[in-house]
Structure 1
Amino acid sequence: MKRKILTRAWYILLGLVIILSCSGIQAAEASPDSPLFEIEVYPADHRLLVFKEGQKWKEYHVAVGNPSTPTPVGEYMIIYKGKNWGRAFGPRWLGLNVPWGIYGIHGTNKPYSIGQHLSHGCIRMHNRDVLELYDMVPVHTKVTIYGHVLGDTNHELRDLAQGDVGSDVQLIQFRLKSAGYYNGICNGKFRADTAEALRRFQRDHHLLQNGVVSNKVYEVLGLLE
């Protein structure tokens, strides 16, 4: 029987559990000066929605991460707003508090990418749209990015090794921590401590001790059925 990744709804829930449970990571909370607006992003549909006082206010077409560098799933916050970071980022940048790297909502000098999975994980908008969004929402606005924690399930799961970052790395850390192999912070950064924990897990489960998360590791960790 063909292996299947566990259900999308379960992973959306697990993604929020990871953010709330892992040491050093907290779900974003809107501050008192930004109660009016919230942002929701649906990478599979290339849509960014803005809600004002709980009602849909704006909708934008966006570009998102490709399968090898997916847009991070979870609940975050806009922590920085900047102008003119460079042509590749368009006229405006809204930075998110993703713990394993620099991710944001920004413009682009590649408008043909809008509506596709072509970024390195950031959310690209048409320049006219990001100008509007920048003026609309304040710092501390909550941004919820929906989707599968392990990325687009129409593609093979990517092998993970030291140096990789992302929601999938964070999920592996969470599983290893729950199993008693990992004692570090679940920050989505595949560093030496994660690799060592993984090798111990591989040793105890009679797997190749190479510190690489393969399909077999996903399976033994219970992430494939």
Structure 2
Amino acid sequence: MIEMRRFLVRIVQTILISALILGAVPRPAGADPSLPIVKDNGLVTIEVYPLKHKLVVLLDHLPYRTFSVAVGNPDTPTPVGEYLVIYKGKNWGPSFGSRWIGLNVPWGTYGIHGTNRPYSIGQHASHGCIRMRNRDVEELYEMVPVGTKVTIHGHVLGEANREPRVVAEGDVGAEVQLIQNRLQSAGYFHGECNGKFRFSTTAAIKKFQKENGLVPDGIATLEVYEKLGLIE
């Protein structure tokens, strides 16, 4: 109880001294606005473990609360990496439950939210977002300020017992960003490594395929992953 009181006091202090209001973030009509609060550095962090379907809140680097969650399915995986909470809102619609906590994933709109399908918790069932029971996300919403660091654990190319996704123009994801980085290092890609598979990425892969004896179709197949040295 004492620890919780200290936690709440520090959150209130953060709110009172904050003057930073983030730029406009797209949200559904009727959604409540973001909370203009900024993280007290090191106070609260979140770690997500997709394989275990667990979300852990850390208070000053120590586990404080653990929640069961649903994560992305193999075709639309939850993005692995380190991100920040950039937006908090309510009433995004039934599919998002009662709360939305948005993350700064560069290739799309991803977040931690509630759900109208509580039976999906504990499964790989989402399109990449992290689903929580509404009562759990409401509790998390009050604990987590904008600016909170969120670490999603795992391998960029997916689970060890699964082959990486074959990706092509129109796809997005961490593996796309990894491919872009490798192509850029090799001098084939000159665009922004943002995880968005667009025409410039297709052109770079076609050139790479042609120079490495592969069919130049612009699709990142397993052979492309191998030639880029991303898998063996």
Q: TM-score, normalised by structure 1?
A: 0.85
For 2:117 and 2:158, how far apart are their aligned partners in 1?
23
**Equivalent residue, structure 2, for 1:128:** 135
The 3-state SS of whatever aligns with 1:77 is strand
Could you tell which deviates more after superposition, 119-128 or 147-156?
147-156
Q: Which runs of 5+ in 1 are unaligned?
A: 1-30
How many residue pairs get aligned? The number is 195
**Equivalent residue, structure 2, for 1:179:** 186
2:56 is the counterpart of 1:59: no
Partner of residue 160 from structure 2, selected from 153, 159, 162: 153
The 3-state SS of whatever aligns with 2:226 is helix
Contact 1:67 1:155 in 2 (8 A): no
- 1:33 Cα shift? 3.2
For 1:102 and 1:125, how far apart are their aligned partners in 2?
17
Contact 1:34 1:138 in 2 (8 A): no
**Equivalent residue, structure 1, for 2:145:** 138
- 1:32 Cα shift? 5.8
Q: Percent identity?
A: 64
Q: Which has the higher contact order (CA 8 A, sep 6+)?
A: 1
**Equivalent residue, structure 2, for 1:18:** none
Q: Who wins on radius of gyration, i.e. which is larger?
A: 2
2:191 is the counterpart of 1:204: no
Q: Which runs of 5+ in 2 are unaligned?
A: 1-37
Contact 2:39 2:146 in 1 (8 A): no
Contact 2:225 2:231 in 1 (8 A): yes
Moved over 6 A (4+): none
**Equivalent residue, structure 2, for 1:71:** 78
Partner of residue 167 from structure 1, selected from 153, 157, 174: 174
Contact 1:106 1:124 in 2 (8 A): yes
For 1:195 and 1:186, how far apart are their aligned partners in 2?
13
RMSD: 1.0
Contact 2:94 2:115 in 1 (8 A): yes
Aligned AA for 1:209? P
The 3-state SS of whatever aligns with 2:77 is coil
**Which string of whole-angstrom CA distances, capped at 9 and with x for unpartnered residues, describes residues 29-87 of structure 1?**
xx663531000001011010000011110000000000000000100000000001000
Aligned AA for 1:136? M
2:200 is the counterpart of 1:193: yes
